[in-house]
Chains A and B, each alone.
Chain A
C-alpha cells in the first residue's frame, strides 16, 4: 500500500515542521471543525490511525534510538507526538508498553533536559531480571516502536532559576536517573546568576554498574561547579548517612535531592531530621508493589476505598464488591458473575486475584472487575 505509506511519511514529516507547532495549530483547527462530523468518535481517532503520534487524546512517542548503557541498562530516545506537553527536569514519565497485545504501564525518570518542541526525550531503563517490561525495553525494543505516554509527573524537580547556591545530590543504583536529567539540564542552562555549587554522591556496586559514569566524569572535569563522588559498595561497603561528614562536610547547609532504595532514603530522612535539616531534603522513591507469593492459603488483605475514605479487611476468597458493600461503600455493580463489566473500578495500588482462575494480576490504574476479584495483599481502589 504505497499510498498509505506515503501518507504516513508525510504525516511524520508534518509532525516535525516548525518544531511541531504547525501540525499542533492545524490539528486544533481541524478538530474543532471536524468533531461534529466524527461523532461519536473524535477527529483524533482518525488522525491516530494515520500515525499514532498525531493523536492528542492518547499521546504517544516513537523510539528513534536504543543505546546500551552499562550492564543491563539502555537509554531509549523517544520522539513525542502531538499530545505531549513537556516536562521539568527530574520528573518521571509513565510509559505504556505493548507486550503480547497487552499494554503495561511503567514509570521511568526522564534523563534528558526539558526539550524544545519537536525534539526527543530520553529515558534510561535498568533491567529488572524478574520483571516483564524492563527486559523488554532494554533488550527487545527496536527503533520505530511506538510507546504510549502519559503526562510527566512528580515534584522531585530542579527549581527554576535562580537556583539555591549550594546543592547536594545523593543517589544509589538507578536513583541516578532523575538526577542525571537535572545535571544535564543544569549543564545546558543559561543562568542569570553565578552557577551553583553542586555535589553528586552516587553509590553503585562497582564502576561497571555506574550509569552515565563517563559522561558525568566528563561534565565534572569541564564544569568547575560540579563535583562527582562515586562509592562502590562491592569494595567500600554501603553508603550510610554517617559518612556525610567526610564525603560532604557542609551537607547540612545544602539543598539536597536523594533518590535510591527505600533503606537508604529512610536513613537519610532520619539523619536530616535529627540534624533539624529535614526541610532541606527532598526524596524520590521508586515504588513497586511487591507480588505476593502464589499459594492456596492466601491471606487476603486490607482494602482502602480512597474516595469514600473507608478501610476494610477482605479475605482472599471474598469478591471486592462484597467487601465494599459490607463496609458501606457505594459500589458500582452489575451481574455479579463477571460477565457484564458493570462493576469496574480503578486499582490505585496493590494486586488482586481472579476468583475464577486464581490468576494474580493488577497494575496501578488498571480497571478491575470487583465482582470476581479478591484481595491479594493490601490494596486500594479509587471508589
Chain B
C-alpha cells in the first residue's frame, strides 16, 4: 500500500541524530577507500571487456547453436555489467576519488542510448536530489506512469500495465527519450534550441550504437550474420528488461513512500531530513553476491540513495548498519527478495492505473 510520508512528524532532534550517524558512516568509508576498492572496479572492467570480446567472438560463429547460446549469454552479461556496475556507478562519481581519468564521471561514456551528460543531469541531479517528490522527481513514473495517488489520473493510465510491459524490452530508448525532457519545453523550463541540441546528441549516439550492434558486427559474422544480429538484439533486449526490473524494484514496491513538495520541506531541508526521504523513497532487493553485482549493487538501493557517491562494492557491508539505524529510529526499511519486490511493483502499476485514491 502506497502512502505519502509526512516528514514533519519526525521531530527535529531525531532526524538530526540520524543525519549525524549516517554522516559518520560516510566519513568512515571515505577514509577507508583504497587499493582493494580500486582492484575491485578494475577487475569488473576487465571481466566485462573479456565477456564482451568473448561474446562477440562466439556470435561471429553463431551458425552453430552452442556458439549462439554462449555468445548471447556472454554479451548479455557484459552489457548488464557495463550498464549497472560500471556505467551507472562511475557516472555517479563513485570512483572519481581514484583520480584515474579512464574511470571518471567526466570522461566515461556508456553503451546505453542516453549520452552520459544528459543522463547525469536527469538522474544524478534531478532524481537524486528530489527523490520521490511528486512533480519534481521525473523518475517517479517517468512522466508516463502514475505511481502515486498524488499524481493526477488520466484515462491513458488505464493502459499503463500494457505500456509498462512494452517499455521493458526497449527501456534504453524510453530512458533516452525521457532524458530529452521534451515535456519541459511547453512550460518554458527548456528552450527549443536546447532540445534540438540534445536530440542531435542522442541521434549521433543512437546511430553509432545501432550501427555497431545491428550492422557492423553481423556483417563481420559473414554466414552467421543473421544469428549474430539475433543474438545482439536478444542481448540488448534482456539487458533492457533487467535494467527496467532493477530500477522499478528500487523505487516502486508498494511500501515505498512518495512525498509532496510541502511534506518534503525542500526549502531548508536538513541533512537528516534528506537522508530520511532517501531511505523512505527507496527499496532493496535481497539476494546473493551475484545478484548484487548484476544489479550494479542497486539491490542496495537504499544505501545507494543515502550515499550515492560511495563506491558500490561497499554497499553490501553498509546495508546491515543502515538497517540497524533505521530500526532504532523507527524508520521503515523496505527490503525483500526479487520476486516479491517485482510483484509488489506490478501491483502498484495496476493499482494506480485506475482513478482510485488510497
Residues on A lying within 8 angstroms of B by beta carbon are 36-37, 39-41, 45-46, 48-49, 57-58, 96, 98, 100-105, 334-335, 337-342, 344, 356-357, 366-367
Contact = CB atoms under 8 A, between A and B. Distances in A.
B330 to A, nearest CB: 25
A356 B23 contact: yes
Given A341-B92, A342-B124, 16 more contacts: A36-B208, A40-B109, A41-B109, A45-B102, A58-B102, A96-B99, A101-B35, A101-B98, A334-B121, A335-B129, A339-B128, A339-B309, A341-B96, A356-B23, A357-B30, A367-B106
B216 interface: yes
B186 interface: no
9 contacts: A40-B208, A46-B49, A57-B102, A101-B97, A101-B98, A337-B274, A341-B105, A344-B93, A344-B106
A98 B125 CA distance: 30
Interface residues of B, number: 47
Contacts, number: 97
Contacts of B37: 101
B181 interface: no
A199 B291 CA distance: 69
A41 B208 CA distance: 11
Contacts of A36: 208, 211-212, 216
Interface string B7-34: 0000000000000000100010010011
Interface in B88-112: 92-93, 96-102, 104-106, 109-111
Interface in B59-99: 92-93, 96-99
B209 interface: yes
Interface string B177-209: 000000000000000000000000000010011
A103 B128 CA distance: 28
A357 B27 contact: yes
B346 interface: no
Contact of A334 (B99, B125, B212): B125
A341 B102 contact: no
A102 to B, nearest CB: 6
B217 interface: yes
Nearest to A105: B99
Main secondary structure of the interface of B (DSSP, over half): helix
B49 A103 contact: no
B343 interface: no
Interface string B212-234: 10001100100000000000000
Contacts of B36: 101
A256 to B, nearest CB: 38
A341 to B, nearest CB: 4
B34 A340 contact: no
B38 interface: yes
Contacts of A356: 23
B53 interface: yes
B46 interface: yes
Contact of B120 (A41, A98, A338, A341): A341
B308 interface: yes
Nearest to B23: A356
A36 B208 CA distance: 7
Given A101-B98, A338-B309, A356-B23, A49 B45 contact: yes
B98 A102 contact: yes
A334 B34 contact: no
Contacts of A105: 99
Nearest to B209: A39
Given A40-B111, A49-B49, A342-B121, A335 B34 contact: no
- Scoring B39, B93, B98, B104 by chain A CB atoms within 10 A of each residue's CB, the highest score goes to B93
A356 B38 CA distance: 23
A75 B261 CA distance: 62
B45 A339 contact: no
A118 B105 CA distance: 33
Contact of B99 (A37, A40, A46, A366): A366
A96 B49 CA distance: 24
Nearest to B94: A341
A337 B46 CA distance: 33
A47 to B, nearest CB: 11
Contact of A335 (B98, B109, B125): B125
Contacts of A339: 124, 128-129, 308-309
A39 B120 contact: no
Given A49-B49, A100-B34, A101-B37, A37 B124 contact: no
A291 B105 CA distance: 27
B124 A341 contact: yes
B25 to A, nearest CB: 12
Closest 9 CB pairs between A and B? A101-B38, A341-B93, A340-B124, A103-B99, A40-B109, A340-B125, A100-B34, A334-B125, A335-B129
A36 B99 CA distance: 28
A341 B309 CA distance: 9
A37 B217 contact: yes
Contacts of A96: 99
A40 B129 contact: no
Contacts of B217: 37
Of B36, B56, B101, B209, chain A has the most CB atoms within 10 Å of the CB of B101
A295 B128 CA distance: 33
B119 to A, nearest CB: 11
B124 A335 contact: yes
A46 B125 CA distance: 31
